[in-house]
A and B are shown apart, each in its own frame.
Chain A
Amino acid sequence: MSRLAAIDRAKLARGAGRLALAYAGALVLFGAFVMTKGANPVDVYREMWRSTVMNTTSIGQVLVKASPLILAGLAVAVPAKAGLVNVGGEGQVIMGAVAAGGVALALDGTLPGGVMVVVMMLAAAAAGGLWAGLAAVLRLTVRVNEAITTLLLNYVAIDLLLYLIYQPWKDKHGSGQPATRQLAVAARLPLLGTSKVHAGFLIAVVATAVIFGLLRWTSWGFRLRVVGGNAEAARRAGLPVSALLLSAMVVGGALAGLGGMVHFAGAEFKLRPGMTLNFGYIAFLAAWLARHEPVKVAGAAVLLALIAIGGDSLQLDSGLPAAAVNVLMGLVLVAVMGRGQFRAKAPKVMAVPAAQAPAVVS
């Protein structure tokens, strides 16, 4: 037994060592890129470190950034448990923000702030759930693959957001970039204590815990995993497969929609073009990094938020474009995904017998 434990420990240590090596490799490579632009990588990293985790203000920024990412990451993880691919986080986040923004414009000043926040949350979750549910319904009725429809619906959502911002919902008194009217202060998500972190982070943490619990301890979570493991077996065992798939997708979409509301009512306060730039895609990657385990998804989202906030330091302190930090994020992901741990879970190359071949890309 002790020998087994030793082997396990060695395996774990090897895994951890490889992971550390992967992260280090990414940092070194990014440092090399930065050097070609005439910046000193040591300074760059020192500044990034200082401006992300060294004081409470900057940690606050990271957590604010991470809040919608956590929610959108869970929106990928829940459907994934049932074997569904949700690439539509971006669109669902946007629909959530649009719904929250619409509620804010329509009911401005008629409700007490706290009630308003709750109404916005409900509207956002409904909108996100609807957007994802649409893709699920198309998969279940006409067998169109959900990865494709969720991806396409992202663009429809972006165009809808822009349409609203540029015309019907445009703030007539605003100057510069078109945007909606600012959200009333009373309807904004309150800050936690004396920090700069808004209650959206709390929402994200609670959502993570709830999803963790639902997946682990309820029959719904168990059934989702059965369907994800083998839909045909689940069907033969009498599980309501269609309803389960639909529920997984709607819950996912609702979480992403909530992420959009959190971003709107906690950080942006108005709808503007590009407000959710790539949140959904970053969250998709966070979910994959974490292999769709809710708590790890939250951790990965915080890590990616940390890197993103580091981009601001890149611009302010080192004079490099903020978007260059995407290189660091990309390299970290390449390193982690390429270190071989995913191999065991790689899709089987052998063909599935036709009878098992499940619902179909179209």
Chain B
Amino acid sequence: MSLPVEVMVGAVRGGTSILYAALGETVSERAGVINLGTEGCMLVGALTGYAVTASTGNPWVGVIAGAGAGALLALVHAVLVLSRGANQLATGLVVLFLGLGLTSLFGAAYVGRSINAFTPIAIPGLSSIPGLGDIFFNHDPLTYLSYLAGPAVWWFLYRSRPGLIMRAAGERQEVLAAYGHSPLRTRYLAVIGGGALAGIGGAQLSTAYANAWFENMTQGRGFIAVALVIFAAWHPLRAVGGAYLFGAALALSPALQARGYGFNQFALDAIPYLVTIGVLVVLGRKRAHAAPEGLKKVFEMTGA
């Protein structure tokens, strides 16, 4: 495999879990709620997906359970933020620590256990296209599903009525209320839906990517997803591209090392963050307009 192909294969493989989480976070933030605890939602998704797959033998059931676990943890965030008026950034971190702790407590039993994981399925015909076949058409089913997830979220947010209502909840909830919709309910659904997608991302990691569970296995991917949403200016399709960019950065260094180029992994790892900051600096003002109005207020604190 040539270097670019190998890196791009790695981009898709490593980027998929981040992609799901970033799409979930996009939905949530579009409704005006940022969830810094996406990492925690991914972790509970990863463990629940793994554990349920282990007990049922069916990874699909596992993924659905993982989505449920992510949604449940996000519900904690939603209750604190939406019904108790707590600060979003702080409760997001609380959710992160809950996720870290719960998965550590209940995950110990699953370390080193093997499961009936997802296996890559080469798509006949398409997978034999040179280059592209390896990059896109020789993956696990959850990766194929992720190809549809980006456009689906885009369609939902920009072409469907519930999506319009959701965006309205993030922009001007008083307008939404004036039209007889409940901004509160809409925001609850967005946060919970975002958690479910993060849970799927986590489950993809444990049941299709690593085929293992270990403590803190998401290793910051949830935070990457949060950063990505900003990078993508709250647009789902750009978030997909960003997820693959991160995946590529993660894949580049091992690929270089395998070819005898000594390269420090961590110098490469920093690139996506620096690029994101760079993009914000260059496009700062333009991107600022893309932020949902409701979200802008989150970052404004009154001097407590």
Question: Would you call B131 an interface residue if the criterion is a C-beta within 8 Å of the partner chain's C-beta atoms?
Answer: no
**B85 touches A (CB below 8 Å):** yes
Is the CB of A281 closer than 8 A to any CB of chain B? yes
Kindly state the separation between the CA atoms of A285 and B97 in the bound complex, as whole angstroms: 11
Q: Is A349 an interface residue (CB 8 A)?
A: yes
Provide the B231-266 mask, 1 if CB < 8 A to any CB of A, else 0: 000000000000000000000000000000000111
Interface secondary structure of B, over-half rule? helix
Closest CB in chain B relative to A70 CB, distance in Å = 18
What's the Cα separation between A58 and B216 when bound, in Å?
A: 27
B300 near A83: Cβ-Cβ < 8 Å: yes
Q: Contacts of B174 on A, CB cut-off 8 Å?
A: 349-351
Neighbouring A residues of B304 by C-beta, 8 Å: 80-81, 291-292, 345
Which segment, of B49-57, B122-130, B140-148, B290-298, faces chain A?
Answer: B290-298
Known: A81-B303, A143-B284, A288-B90. A324 touches B101 (CB 8 A): yes
Closest residue of B by beta carbon distance from A148: B230
Contact B94 A333 (CB under 8 A): yes
Q: Is the CB of B84 within 8 A of A338?
A: yes
User: Which one, B101, B267, B281, contacts A323 given CB within 8 A?
Assistant: B101
B104 contacts chain A at the CB level, 8 A cutoff: yes
Q: Which of A149, A160, A329, A351 contacts B172 (CB 8 A)?
A: A351
CB neighbours (8 Å) of A34 from chain B are: 105
Identify which of residues 46-82 in chain B touch chain A, using a CB-to-CB cut-off of 8 Å: 76, 79-80
- 30 A–B contacts from the bound complex (CB under 8 Å): A33-B105, A80-B301, A80-B304, A81-B304, A142-B280, A142-B281, A143-B284, A144-B284, A145-B299, A147-B299, A152-B273, A152-B277, A155-B220, A155-B269, A162-B266, A163-B267, A281-B97, A285-B90, A285-B94, A320-B108, A324-B102, A326-B98, A330-B98, A342-B84, A345-B302, A345-B304, A346-B86, A348-B297, A361-B291, A361-B298
Which residues on A are within 8 Å of B, measured CB to CB? Answer: 33-34, 37, 80-85, 87, 138, 142-145, 147-149, 151-153, 155-156, 159-160, 162-163, 166-167, 224-225, 227-229, 278, 281-282, 284-285, 288, 291-292, 320-331, 333-334, 337-340, 342-343, 345-352, 357-358, 360-362
